[in-house]
């Protein structure tokens, strides 16, 4: 399996197998704490090989540097199936978040695991705007 896209962005959609991403970012600038980000999304596109067909467990954790969850763990399953003549197939996943509350300045982590294996991590930096 190959992570083709894993991004924090303003918005994402899927249309007929196409993953559309708007405004990828890794930093939120704010004057006040706690910061509340009104809308964002985590966009994911994963490619699976023939031998990886079937069901897979996907987990996304959004944590601060102390390991405390910012949102509850997002857990789900995807079933990968594609025509036999194809050597691989992809899956697109989007996790939309509204009114994301960040309690303190610093670094946060968005961690991706598939089938219990940690595969990718995104940083989110919350910085003071002066």
Euclidean distance between CA atoms 34 and 14, whole angstroms: 31
CA-to-CA dists, residue 74 to 21, 55, 77, 83, 113, angstroms: 20, 17, 10, 29, 10
pLDDT digits (tens, 9 = 90+) for 1-10: 999 999 999 9
Return d(Cα 49, Cα 71) in angstroms, integer: 31
Q: pLDDT of 4-44, one tens digit each?
A: 999 999 999 999 999 999 999 999 999 999 999 999 999 99
Predicted confidence at residue 35, as pLDDT, reads: 93
17 secondary structure, DSSP code: T
Q: What is the C-alpha separation between 74 and 62, in angstroms, rounded?
A: 9
Nearest-angstrom CA–CA distance, 106 and 87: 42
pTM exceeds 0.85, yes or no: yes
CATH number for 2-128 (one of 3.30.465.10, 1.10.540.10, 3.50.50.60, 2.60.40.10): it is 2.60.40.10
Cα 118 from Cα 60, distance rounded (Å): 10
């Amino acid at each position: 399996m190959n992570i083709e896209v894993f991004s924090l962005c303003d918005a994402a959609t899927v249309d007929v197998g196409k993953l559309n991403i708007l405004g990828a970012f890794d930093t939120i600038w704010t004057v006040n704490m706690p910061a509340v980000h009104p809308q964002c999304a985590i966009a994911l596109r994963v490619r699976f090989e023939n031998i990886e067909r079937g069901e897979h467990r996907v987990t996304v954790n959004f944590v601060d540097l102390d390991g405390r969850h910012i949102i509850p763990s997002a857990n789900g399953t995807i079933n990968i199936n594609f025509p036999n003549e194809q050597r691989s197939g992809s899956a697109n996943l989007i996790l939309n978040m509204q009114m994301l509350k960040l309690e303190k300045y610093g670094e946060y982590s968005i961690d991706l695991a598939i089938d219990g294996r940690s595969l990718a991590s995104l940083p989110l930096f919350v910085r003071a705007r002066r």
